[in-house]
Amino acid sequence: MPIDTRTLLNGLRSAALRDQLEVHYQPIILLRTGRLMGYEALLRWSHPTEGMISPDIFIPFAEQHHMMFEITKILFEKVLTEQAHWNHSVQTMISLNISPSSLPEDDLSTLLEPLTSTDTINRKQVILEITETAIFENPVSSGALIHRLKSEGFTFALDDFGTGYSSLTNLRDLPFRELKIDKSFIQNLDEQHSNDHILIDAILSIAHAFGAIVVAEGIETKKNLLQLKSMNCYAGQGFLFAKPMPASDIEGWYEQWPVQWRQLAHQASHAMI
Ligand code: C2E
Ligand code: CA
């Protein structure tokens, strides 16, 4: 049964929210070498009666009800606390999803300050992911925010590329270091008559021309991996490598990763295309 509005609203406003929100981390991998590029931090809401509620449900709701300041604050605090406990070898880049329309410029700066003024994380390690749709809804304020925070040392990724109002002017006018191809394109690559490889090739060329790197989301099969590698896609994330996991699982995953990658690379090179 879908969760009702009142339950969502009461839950998000409850004092217990801080304990119920969890951050899961999904590794992002360099496709040529298998090296770890970083992690995307993804929120989870472990509700006492409703079970695990997907961010796809509660984030849009929180945006609508002006609760993103509190939620993003909890996210940043948790990321900071959890990263402080990670072994240095697993500490790399950390990608955070932000909703600029529901987080005014000053609020976001206030939230980012404690996250990046510690010994644990510096701002060069933080990639802020903004969806195309968010930029489309609020082009002027999103643009100003991106330019200002870029000048303060933050890096930006254009998220869910291809699903929204894919405007190439975003790549021309805004300083994105990274472009993330939405998983719907990657998953279609496996379809026999899909033309998505043509689109992905074109996206890669355009991104490279603008000096941006491309991260493919939703890599689920060895065939996807081989296709993306052969197209020179820089990095990727997906269930083939790892599902998003709690901070406590990261070190264990990282230890076994070289073996997993060798097997994947070997099997992918023998996969039928
Ligand atoms: P997103 O930013 O596009 O994040 C990627 C989503 O794809 C994640 O879903 C991830 O679990 C999923 N994914 C990754 N690899 C695969 C794969 O191989 N197969 C499939 N089927 N899915 C894969 P998730 O964690 O459910 O998050 C959904 C959306 O919620 C995110 O989409 C993002 O837009 C939003 N979100 C999550 N955390 C936050 C947050 O802290 N702040 C904001 N503003 N939004 C967030
Ligand atoms: Ca994202």
Q: Which residues contact 127 (CB under 8 A, 6 or more apart)?
A: 38, 93, 94, 95, 96, 154, 155, 156, 157, 177, 178
- Are residues 36 and 92 in contact, defined by beta-carbon separation less than 8 angstroms? yes
How many CB atoms within 10 Å of residue 39?
A: 29
Q: What is the pLDDT of residues 63-122, one digit of tens each?
A: 999 899 999 999 999 999 998 888 777 678 999 999 877 777 778 888 898 888 888 888
Mean local confidence (pLDDT), 150-164: 90
Q: What are phi and psi of 128, to 5 degrees?
A: -100, 120
Which ligand 1 atom is nearest residue 182's CA? Answer: 3
How far, in Å, is the centroid of ligand 1 from the Cα of 174?
23
Q: What is the 3-state secondary structure (H, E, C) of 37-83?
A: EEEEEEEEEEECCCEEECHHHHHHHHHHCCCHHHHHHHHHHHHHHHH
Q: Is 236 left (phi over 0), alpha (psi -120 to 50) or beta?
A: beta
CB atoms within 10 A of CB 47: 18
Nearest CA, atom 45, ligand 1 = 97
Instruction: Decide if pLDDT at 155 tops 70.
Output: yes
Q: Is the CB of 43 under 6 A from ligand 1?
A: yes
The domain 5-264 having CATH identifier 3.40.50.1010: the answer here is no
Residue nearest to atom 43 of ligand 1 (CA): 97
Check pocket membership of 139 for ligand 1, CB cut-off 6 A: no
What residue ranges do the domains of the chain occupy? 5-264
> By mean pLDDT, which of 27-31, 77-81, 104-108, 132-136 is the weakest?
104-108
Strand partners, 41: 25, 96
pTM of the model: 0.95
CA of 43 to the centre of ligand 1 (A): 8
pLDDT bin (cut points 50, 70, 90) of residue 193 is low
- Which of the ligands is closest to the CA of residue 242? 1
